[in-house]
Amino acid sequence: MRFTIKWMAALLLSLLSWSAAQVTVGVDPIAKLFTANPGQSITQILNIYNPNKVAAKIRVIGTLSDMNMSEIGQISYLPAGTVKESLAGWTTFSPSEVMLGSEDTAQVRYTIQVPADATPGTHWAMLMFEAQDPNPVPGQTLAAMRMRVAHTVYVNVAPTKKSGEISGIFENVPSVPNASYDLGVQYNNTGNVATGVQGRVEIRDVTGTLVATLAIPLEVSLPGRSLFLKTSWGGPVPRGQYSALIILNDGDKTRDLTGEQVITLPFDLLPFNAPVASATPAPAAAPAASGAPSTGKP
């Protein structure tokens, strides 16, 4: 349960970064995770609020949308029913439109009816809320008054299975001493549930001594998709050969996923963006004395 809370928090950070500047309307909570059996019904109440201290009311319109995530964790918003795991078709909500005055709050209730023949695993959708000017001036586009926020819903339909694998390890050896060594790990979610993936990289020298431990931050992984995780190693590091042990965990407490990579540094790594020493230029010739020949001879 604690791990689930952590990956939900990671998702919230992604959503908040998307809507950081969108303060016209707010929604609470931003995301919700349910566990259900086929045929079960779920009901939830949301609070939609207007944080602005303005005299004019705003119109808030709700719509259902799908969400997908790229290999690098970038979120895209799609028409409802686009992804095969969508639960938009199971979801109804009311009211679909509310008017909010200054610092007002309204409630929206949604119901998810899980079909009796629902496919096991995680299903999801987003309730998008768009704030609009209720009295727009013809010919004027008030972009600032057309902001959206989202409430993301996840439903884990039983039975669920967590499963994943490391499918690739990639490196980027720096070409200059004051850059970082970058390591990428590709994780494939082969289970049927959304989960969080995090880990570390243990780096040892040729004697087996642990010289560095790099963190791999928590990222959300959707079922049936790949996720590219990254970490970096900066100087000061002596040149030479090292071994990297990659350790990932995707929420399964019974096992970790591991991989190995040999690292060869052709030069000493300096701290990131540190000045690089260069050859000292020859001193400039002294200017000739006034009236002396250009050859410098007396």
Percent of the chain surpassing pLDDT 90: 68
pLDDT at 289: 42
Q: Which CATH number does 2-157 carry? A: 2.60.40.10
User: What token pair was written down for 278?
Assistant: 């260069």
pLDDT at 148: 80
3-state DSSP assignment of residue 294: coil
Q: Which residues pair with 32 in a beta bridge?
A: 153
Q: How far is CA 287 from CA 150, 280, 282, 295, in A?
A: 71, 21, 15, 12
Nearest to 193 by CA among 224, 216, 219: 224
* Shared fold status for 2-157 and 164-265: yes
pTM value is 0.77
Tell me: the pLDDT tens digits for 155-173? 999 999 999 999 999 999 9
Query: Which fold does the domain 164-265 belong to in CATH?
Result: Immunoglobulin-like (2.60.40)
User: What token pair was written down for 133?
Assistant: 């000017």
Mean pLDDT of 191-204: 97
Domain residue spans of the chain:
2-157, 164-265
Query: Quick one: DSSP state of residue 84?
Result: T
Q: Is residue 21 predicted with pLDDT exceeding 70?
A: no
Tell me: the pLDDT tens digits for 87-146? 999 999 999 999 988 889 999 999 999 999 999 999 999 999 998 866 666 655 544 445
